[in-house]
């Protein structure tokens, strides 16, 4: 008996509307589009706009029009995280009811002081392996001191909650990445209990993205390799919420001409400058950064040829420098 064919995948591109699309974002968008479209799948766009102080008015519309200018069209309506708070509330209440999360009174200064306190040689060796996240719980690479578990068993007397943290289970969280192979992380040791919500408002990236991907039926997450450190935390939350887990592919980063990670202002693709020649040049760069051979012709023909010829095995692991 033959097995049923696999369903076409659902991919997504989820930018933060904090400025115009740049070359690094274009590579991520193109990579996720190619993975989905080459297999006849859906491609969704979601605006991750929970960090409201950093949101630039009009940036979301600019990003969408820029994607259209490159021929990267999407399925279904574009959703914004700011319109999905009820979904995050439900997940939060579920975790709180099952005591998977807890209130924490610690400030960054508290955590830093705990990290600098004298420790035994064994603890010091363990701490040296930890590249922990800060109290904001964001999606970027881990930084700062590991949370020491001060409030795991309740708030200290007279202290009010500043955030809610996920109670990380012991053990490894593993996944298979198409480019990097088998990866695993002991989140409890490397990160510790991480923030899922600030007491005064917004939900953290880790919780929101897990809820969103499940609600939208995303089956493969294709994104930059700077987010690989978030994956184990997201898997931990998926399991706690009994949500399906997508597959993961982390693409090579685009670096600035100076060899540093491309910033929002570097390699920007403002809509008003996007004539056909610049679109064609940026698209050729993005395809070559993904190891694909750019075809000649207008941008939409380049994109269609890339979709038909897409070969994931050619994607490099090394970052690519943007042109100066």
- CATH code assigned at 158: 3.90.800.10
pLDDT for 263 beyond 70: no
- Strand-pair partners of 212: none
- pLDDT at 271 (0 to 100): 78
- H helices present in 191-298, as ranges: 205-215, 231-240, 276-289
Tell me the pLDDT tens digit for each residue of 275-292. 999 999 999 999 999 999
Q: With beta carbons less than 8 A apart as the criterion, state whether 323 and 285 touch.
A: yes
pTM greater than 0.95 (yes/no) = no
- What percentage of the chain carries pLDDT values higher than 70? 87
Tell me the pLDDT tens digit for each residue of 194-237. 999 998 889 999 999 999 999 999 999 999 999 999 999 999 99
Under the phi-then-psi rule, with left for phi > 0, alpha for psi from -120 to 50, and beta for the rest, what region is 27?
alpha
Which residues have a Cβ under 8 Å from the Cβ of 81 and sit 6 or more positions away? 46, 47, 48, 49, 50, 208, 212
Q: What is the CATH number of the domain that holds 279?
A: 3.40.50.620
* SS3 state of residue 104: strand
In a domain, 75, yes or no: yes
Per-residue H/E/C for 201-220: CCECHHHHHHHHHHHCCCCE
287 and 277 in a single domain? The answer is yes
How far apart, in whole angstroms, are the C-alpha atoms of residue 212 and residue 12? 10
- pLDDT at 270 (0 to 100): 80
213 and 159 in a single domain? The answer is no
- Strand-pair partners of 177: 181, 248
DSSP letter, residue 6: P
234 and 317 in a single domain? The answer is yes
- pLDDT at 145 (0 to 100): 73
Q: What number is the average pLDDT over the span 5-11?
A: 82
Which class for 271: exposed (0-12), middle (13-18), buried (19 or more C-beta within 10 A)? middle
pLDDT band at 264 (very low <50, low <70, confident <90, very high): low
Range scoring the smallest mean pLDDT among 159-163, 177-181, 260-264: 260-264
272 and 173 in a single domain? The answer is no
Tell me the pLDDT tens digit for each residue of 131-152. 333 333 333 334 457 899 999 9
- pLDDT at 75 (0 to 100): 97
pLDDT for 238 beyond 50: yes
Domain range spanning residue 74?
10-84+207-321
- pLDDT at 122 (0 to 100): 39
- What percentage of the chain carries pLDDT values higher than 90? 76
How far apart, in whole angstroms, are the C-alpha atoms of residue 145 and residue 206? 18
What number of helices (H) and strands (E) belong to the chain? 10, 12
Residue 182 main-chain phi, psi, to 5 deg: -75, 125
Of 161, 190, 206, the one marking the end of a domain is 206
How high does pLDDT run on average in the chain?
88
Tell me the pLDDT tens digit for each residue of 103-113. 999 988 888 88
* SS3 state of residue 174: strand
How far apart, in whole angstroms, are the C-alpha atoms of residue 48 and residue 81? 5
- Residue listed under structure tokens 């922990």: 132
In a domain, 5, yes or no: no
In a domain, 93, yes or no: no
238 and 310 in a single domain? The answer is yes
């Amino acid at each position: 008996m033959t097995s049923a064919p696999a369903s076409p995948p659902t991919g997504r591109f989820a930018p933060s509307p904090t400025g115009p699309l740049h070359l690094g974002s274009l590579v991520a968008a193109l990579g996720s589009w190619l993975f989905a479209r080459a297999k006849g799948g859906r491609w969704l766009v979601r605006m991750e706009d929970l960090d409201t102080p950093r949101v630039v008015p009009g940036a979301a519309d600019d990003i969408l029009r820029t994607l259209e200018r490159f021929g990267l069209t999407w399925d279904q309506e574009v959703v914004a995280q700011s319109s999905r708070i009820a979904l995050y509330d439900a997940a939060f209440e579920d975790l709180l009811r099952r005591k998977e999360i807890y209130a924490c009174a610690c400030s960054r200064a508290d955590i830093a002081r705990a990290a600098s306190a004298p420790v035994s040689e064994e603890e010091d060796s363990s701490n040296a392996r930890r590249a922990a996240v800060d109290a904001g719980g964001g999606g970027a690479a881990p930084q700062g001191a590991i949370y020491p578990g001060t409030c795991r068993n309740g708030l200290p007397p007279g202290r009010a909650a500043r955030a809610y943290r996920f109670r990380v289970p012991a053990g490894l969280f593993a996944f298979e990445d198409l480019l990097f192979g088998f990866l695993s992380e002991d989140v409890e040791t490397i990160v510790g209990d991480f923030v899922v919500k600030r007491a005064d408002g917004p939900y953290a990236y880790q919780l929101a993205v897990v809820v969103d991907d499940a609600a939208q039926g995303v089956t493969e997450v294709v994104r930059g390799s700077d987010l690989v450190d978030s994956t184990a935390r997201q898997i931990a939350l998926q399991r706690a919420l009994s949500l399906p887990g997508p597959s993961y592919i982390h693409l090579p980063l685009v670096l600035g001409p100076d060899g540093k990670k491309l910033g929002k202002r570097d390699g920007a693709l403002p809509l008003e400058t996007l004539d056909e020649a610049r679109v064609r040049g940026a698209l050729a760069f993005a395809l070559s950064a993904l190891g694909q051979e750019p075809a000649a012709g207008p941008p939409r023909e380049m994109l269609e040829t890339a979709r038909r010829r897409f070969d994931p095995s050619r994607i490099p692991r090394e970052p690519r420098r943007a042109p100066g």
